[in-house]
Amino acid sequence: MEPGEYSGKLIVIEGTDGVGRSTHIALLRTWLESRGHAVLDTGMTRSVLAGRGIKEAKTGHTLGRLTMQLFYATDFIDRLENEMLPALRSGFVVLTDRYIYSAMARAEVRGIDSAWIRSIYGMALVPHAVFYLRIQSPQQLVERVLASGRGFDYWESGMDLHLGEDFFDSFLEYQTRMLKVFDRMSDEFGFHVLNASRSIRSVASDLRREVDKIVDSSGLEDLTSNPQTTASDHLVTVAK
């Protein structure tokens, strides 16, 4: 689907676990709202239909590879049809924490046929921009996990893949593989890559500058100090 028929903007924040996606979405949301834009924020496993079911299925650790991908796809389609599309039709800026790319990356590191997963997500809308918060190395992610105080998560460590002796070894290997897949998708889908190893403040200011080029600032001209930034310079990527 092409985004042209909707007056809103679909902006995706992607990245591996622990790179600060939710922090940046919260900051962007406040900033956009202060400038008069209506914002919907959504994210993986937050659907009314399947969010709870996915969380419950994950606690049991008996979720199979294929079942997991389809559960994510169910969650995605529910949020697409019931949240994202209605908001985009009404002219909202939709900020989404992860999109089809995370789902495709998780499938790929689990050895799932990429043609299959892509055919399922063929119904997704092409976003106006995908910002990929890129961390330099999995070691930096480890530091963030330690700083968070919550420890290593079973699924974020890819424990279902039996990649290492324990959560730590598995986490490093799993996140290394995820980074590789993301780097490749970044070229394929034209992600806008932001170095997430920097301070929150500098990442946030980069994000604002780029998002400002996308959102429609017409009607707010008198409030905008620099009218050049109102050019709707769409960063459309191709999802198929």
Partner 1 sequence: MISYGKHQFPGKLFVVEGTDGSGKSTQLALLHQWLKAEGYPVFFSEWNSSPLVKDTTRRAKRRHLFTPASFSLLHATDFADRTERDIIPPLKAGAIVLADRYIYTAFARDVARGCDRQWVRDVYSFAVKPTAAFFFRAPLDVAIDRIVSGRPNLKYYEAGMDLNFSDDPEESFKLFQGKILEEYDRMVPEFGLTVIDASRSIERQQREMRMLISQHLKRRRLRNH
The site for partner 1 (CB under 8 A) is made up of 48-50, 52-53, 56-57, 60, 62-67, 69-71, 73-74, 77-78, 81-82, 111-113, 116, 119-120, 122-123
Query: Bridge-partner residues for 9, per DSSP?
Result: 93
- We find the least distance from the C-beta atom of residue 22 to partner 1, in angstroms, to be 24
CA-based nearest residue to 112, from 121, 173, 236, 5 = 121
CA-based nearest residue to 84, from 2, 190, 9, 192 = 9
Between CA 82 and CA 84, with CA 83 as vertex, the angle to 5 degrees is 115
Cβ atoms of 10 and 128 within 8 Å: the answer is: yes
- We find the least distance from the C-beta atom of residue 67 to partner 1, in angstroms, to be 4
**Among residues 120 and 133, whose Cβ is nearest to partner 1?**
120
**Among residues 121 and 171, whose Cβ is nearest to partner 1?**
121
**Among residues 82 and 237, whose Cβ is nearest to partner 1?**
82
**Among residues 11 and 124, whose Cβ is nearest to partner 1?**
124
- We find the least distance from the C-beta atom of residue 110 to partner 1, in angstroms, to be 9
Contacting residues for 26 by C-beta, under 8 A, at least 6 apart: none
**Among residues 32 and 109, whose Cβ is nearest to partner 1?**
109
- We find the least distance from the C-beta atom of residue 19 to partner 1, in angstroms, to be 28
Contacting residues for 187 by C-beta, under 8 A, at least 6 apart: none
| Alpha-carbon span 28 to 108, nearest angstrom | 30
Q: Where are the alpha helices (DSSP H) in the chain?
A: 21-34, 51-60, 65-79, 85-89, 100-109, 114-120, 138-148, 167-189, 200-214
- We find the least distance from the C-beta atom of residue 218 to partner 1, in angstroms, to be 33
- We find the least distance from the C-beta atom of residue 159 to partner 1, in angstroms, to be 17
**Among residues 115 and 147, whose Cβ is nearest to partner 1?**
115
Please report how the helices 138-148 and 167-189 are oriented relative to each other, as an axis angle in degrees rounded to 10: 120
